[in-house]
Copies of this chain bind each other. A is one copy, B any other.
Amino acid sequence: MNAADRQPEQRINTPNYSASGFVKVLAPGTVANLVCGFDVLGMCLNEPNDLMEVKLLQEKKIIIHSADGYPLPSDPAQNTAGAPLIEMINELDTPTGFEVTIHKRIKPGSGIGSSAASAAGAVVAANHLLGNIFPNKDLVRFAMFGEKVASGVKHADNVAPCIYGGITLIRSIHPLDIISIPSPDLFVTIVHPQIEVRTKDARQILRKEVLLKDAIRQWGNIAGLVAGFMQADLDLIGRSLEDVIIEPVRSILIPGFDEVKTKCKETGALGGGISGSGPSIFMLSREEATAIKVQTVMQDIYNRIGIDYHTYVTTINKTGVKILQA
């Protein structure tokens, strides 16, 4: 942890335990990057969600269970929910631990923030059981340790929107600077073609250097996208959803990508692209009816190609991880 990321008031952390000592949360999927905002933008979804049950322990210990037979690492230090909780309990003044049961509904490797949901869900639930002593920014700081376990990189563009809800900008990681970007209500269609794209691989194929002229186009687009969200200018959002740097490289790993993008936009989607590092693809629409038509377009393409898939039609989740039962 970078010392500069810590605030003085965080140094004494005495829990104010919840009475029941048990909580269930829904931890939502997220779309990182949002096309032109590689590594800095993310958006929270209302579907799909992991369901997590977290129990308070009166000893310094983290226990992880997988409820669905997914081969999640049971060693907490290697688990995306466990690693953030280890960081969290290390900052507490009292011996405290958590027992976590994960109902994994967001498939790992889908590109819609499966590891982030585990990490964010765990820390929001745990913080609830501690009497919400940590502010959201600290929860993001803890949850990033889960991303490090999952992908080797402590990125925040999934965990921040998962915790804050809505659309978030990670202006800076050191020091951590998270800005909530207001947005209009939009419909989101997602297709997850069931092929494996590992975040590590998707990161390794990127070039370390980019053309200045491409970088300029990219920062024109992210500035346009932020302005479009904040002014609820849907046409501007659509025009700004363009990525001249990452998408041309990563989309090669996703069969059918170009056709999905072209046909979904012809069908009325504002725009979209790779969700996170893929293979999922997301599209934004102003109307639910369009979002449903877009789903049919996606289904037709992957039926024809012969790749299994899941699709979702959902909306932007404005509140993040949801406490179900306290």
Q: Is A323 interfacial (CB 8 A cutoff)?
A: no
Q: Which residues of B contact A223 (CB under 8 A)?
A: 37, 40-41, 169, 171, 179, 222-223, 225-226
The docked-state distance in angstroms from the alpha carbon of A222 to that of B181 is 13
Q: Which residues of B contact A110 (CB under 8 A)?
A: none
Q: Is A304 interfacial (CB 8 A cutoff)?
A: no
The docked-state distance in angstroms from the alpha carbon of A214 to that of B79 is 31
Q: Which residues of B contact A270 (CB under 8 A)?
A: none
* Nearest Cβ on chain B to A182's Cβ, whole angstroms: 8
Q: Which residues of B contact A177 (CB under 8 A)?
A: 224, 239
* Nearest Cβ on chain B to A36's Cβ, whole angstroms: 8
Instruction: For chain A, residues 53 to 80, give those with C-beta under 8 angstroms from any C-beta of chain B.
Output: none
Please tell me if the beta carbons of B209 and A211 are within 8 angstroms of each other in the complex: yes
Q: Is A307 interfacial (CB 8 A cutoff)?
A: no
Q: Which residues of B contact A172 (CB under 8 A)?
A: 217, 220, 239
Q: Is A207 interfacial (CB 8 A cutoff)?
A: yes
- Closest chain B residue to A180 by CB distance? B227
The docked-state distance in angstroms from the alpha carbon of A211 to that of B210 is 6
User: Which of A41, A181, A216, A221: most chain B Cβ within 10 A?
Assistant: A216
* Nearest Cβ on chain B to A38's Cβ, whole angstroms: 6
Q: Knowing that A209-B211, A219-B222 are A-B contacts, what are 12 other residue pairs whose CB atoms are under 8 Å apart, sorted by A's residue number?
A: A37-B223, A39-B216, A40-B219, A169-B220, A171-B236, A172-B239, A179-B227, A208-B213, A210-B211, A210-B215, A215-B219, A222-B222
